[in-house]
Amino acid sequence: MHYQTKTIVQQSLDALSENQAFLIDLKGEERNRAFSSLASILSTPNKVHKSFLRMPLENGKVVRIPSFRVHHNDTFGPYKGGIRFHESVNEEEVINLAFLMTLKNSLHNIPFGGGKGGIVIDPREYSLKELNIISRKYVQYFADVIGPDKDIPAPDLGSSEREMDWMMAEYKSIKPGQPYRGSFTGKSVVNGGSLGRREATGKGVYFSFRYMLHDFLTNQKDWLIKNDTIYAKTAIEEAKHPLKIAVQGFGNVGSVAALEAHSCKYLQNKVVAVSDRNVTLHNEDGLDILGLVKFIAGNENDLPSTNEQLEKSGIKATILDRDNLLTLNVDVLILAALEDQIHRKNMEQIKAKIIVEGANAPTTAEADKYLSEKGVIIIPDILANAGGVIVSYFEWLQGRKTQFYNEKEVFDMLYLQMKETMDTILPKFFGDSFPLRQNCYIHSVMKLSVVLYKQGKLY
């Protein structure tokens, strides 16, 4: 793992510290001390909770399953972040993901802090009953540190509304008579979940790309032509229509983002490749994304991986090795699988001019620097994939009021919230020489710094 979060936060603090108009009252030695305090506060989690769940398996054995809940920062409100069910979960990863949640919520003005959880299991290796017990045990072990006004978990990789329903029900049994609807988000609609939550991240990922390339730039063309900022110009001038798009990961986020790209009215797109944990499917004329969405629904969420399956489902595609997707000759790469997918070994072969990070931290620090310097635009995770937490916030609000929005209201509010963030960030990005990720971090860190300063936390 090559976490870059700390480094970019430090660079953001350095840039803010040099700007004497920012926190103008802080001068000289006092200013240095305050910025050093900010670096320590922001780069360290408030608390790391770790437990070993005692789990009786159906085969009669008892095992201990490591699990985590990290509270990174609660400056803006209760901690908020998903619970990952994956065999590679580890403490350092969960801390980094919680850190990203702090930055994401600050960036998008969501009144939550940053948290994250993880359970070290491959969920495919457990029965339904065992998964139910593991989910409930997680709540039993962490019941005192979670809750609607303390820390609100949600689904992440390997977990879904099913686990959130189980977890909320367990929380309700452990804390009778207390508010429980807001204890978990990403629940099913019948259990108090929000309409649109399942699609929210994928829709937001595509929206961030479309908004930059279409809505924002349509009115800014002249300004862009006059502007010599290398990051912006190369990528946008070289991306030819129809835009060839490849999507890595065809789960909750990737399949929805692919569908949005496929059916977009504003940009001419061709989704020419998608991949999952097994294969890449490629078709230069564009893939049948609707057909693939239908296929995965009946096939444990896996894409067709043999010619026989392709033929049977009427989908025209060539099967390639899984990681071939990343280096295909496309204009846009949407990364919606795992961390560290673009790295030192493949960064020089990346041909896309625009990368959209649906997953968290899919580009290593080294690859990020290399590609940004080459003029590739990377729409970073904290900007692009916030749809899930934004609609989770709507779910939490709806649970408090026990009044629910319809789907159109949810998506309208989601796009409005993302538009407001992008309207703040994009003029800065096109107007200075920092990559988009750095611009987003500066903005997030700036907001956190002001509040921490005003709360007297820097002395």
Query: Active-site residues: which are they?
Result: 116
Q: Is 252 in the site for ligand NAD (CB under 6 A)?
A: yes
Residue from the set 232, 337, 350, 452 that interacts with ligand NAD by CB under 6 A: 337
Query: What angle do helix axes 407-431 and 387-401 make, rounded to 10 degrees?
Result: 140
Helix-, strand-, coil-residue percentages of the chain, each rounded to 5 = 50, 15, 35
**Alpha-carbon gap, residue 332 to 329, rounded angstroms:** 9
Q: Is 253 in the site for ligand NAD (CB under 6 A)?
A: yes
Q: Is 156 in the site for ligand NAD (CB under 6 A)?
A: yes
Q: Which is nearer to ligand NAD, 269 or 280 (CB)?
A: 280
52: helix, coil or strand? strand
Residue from the set 135, 248, 421, 449 that interacts with ligand NAD by CB under 6 A: 248
Give min distance, CB of 128 to ligand NAD, in A. 17
Residue from the set 101, 152, 157, 168 that interacts with ligand NAD by CB under 6 A: 157
What pairs with residue 363 in β-bridges?
A: 342
**Alpha-carbon gap, residue 334 to 274, rounded angstroms:** 9
Q: Is 288 in the site for ligand NAD (CB under 6 A)?
A: no
Q: Which is nearer to ligand NAD, 185 or 449 (CB)?
A: 185
Q: Which is nearer to ligand NAD, 249 or 435 (CB)?
A: 249
**Alpha-carbon gap, residue 419 to 436, rounded angstroms:** 15
Give min distance, CB of 257 to ligand NAD, in A. 9
Give min distance, CB of 200 to ligand NAD, in A. 7
Give min distance, CB of 105 to ligand NAD, in A. 12
Number of chain positions touching ligand NAD (CB under 6 A) = 23
Rg (CA), the chain: 22
Give min distance, CB of 373 to ligand NAD, in A. 25
Query: Nearest-CA neighbor of 103 among 454, 442, 455?
Result: 442
The H-or-E segment that residue 224 falls in is helix 221-226
Q: Is 417 in the site for ligand NAD (CB under 6 A)?
A: no
Residue from the set 250, 295, 396, 411 that interacts with ligand NAD by CB under 6 A: 250
Query: Nearest-CA neighbor of 183 among 196, 163, 167?
Result: 167
Q: Is 374 in the site for ligand NAD (CB under 6 A)?
A: no
Entry field: residues in the chain: 459
Q: Which is nearer to ligand NAD, 258 or 458 (CB)?
A: 258
Site for ligand NAD in 268-287 (CB under 6 A): 275-277
Q: Is 320 in the site for ligand NAD (CB under 6 A)?
A: no
Q: Is 364 in the site for ligand NAD (CB under 6 A)?
A: no
**Alpha-carbon gap, residue 240 to 444, rounded angstroms:** 32
Q: Is 395 in the site for ligand NAD (CB under 6 A)?
A: no
Q: Which is nearer to ligand NAD, 209 or 231 (CB)?
A: 209
Burial of 373 (0-12, 13-18, 19+ CB in 10 A): exposed
Q: Which two tokens stand for residue 221?
A: 């063309």
Q: Which is nearer to ligand NAD, 3 or 231 (CB)?
A: 3
Residue from the set 50, 172, 233, 322 that interacts with ligand NAD by CB under 6 A: 322
Q: Which is nearer to ligand NAD, 192 or 358 (CB)?
A: 358
Give min distance, CB of 387 to ligand NAD, in A. 7
DSSP symbols for 99-130 = HHHHHHHHHTT-S--EEEEEE---GGGS-HHH
Q: Which is nearer to ligand NAD, 182 or 254 (CB)?
A: 254
SS (H, E, C) 171-210: HHHHCCCCCCHHHCCCCCHHHCCCCCHHHHHHHHHHHHHH
Give min distance, CB of 180 to ligand NAD, in A. 21
Residue least distant from ligand NAD (Cβ): 251
Running DSSP on this structure, what letter comes out for residue 158? Answer: T
Q: Is 359 in the site for ligand NAD (CB under 6 A)?
A: yes
162: how many CB neighbours lie within 10 A of its CB?
A: 15
What pairs with residue 52 in β-bridges?
A: 66
Residues that bind ligand NAD (CB under 6 A): 156-158, 201, 248-254, 275-277, 322, 336-338, 358-360, 385, 388
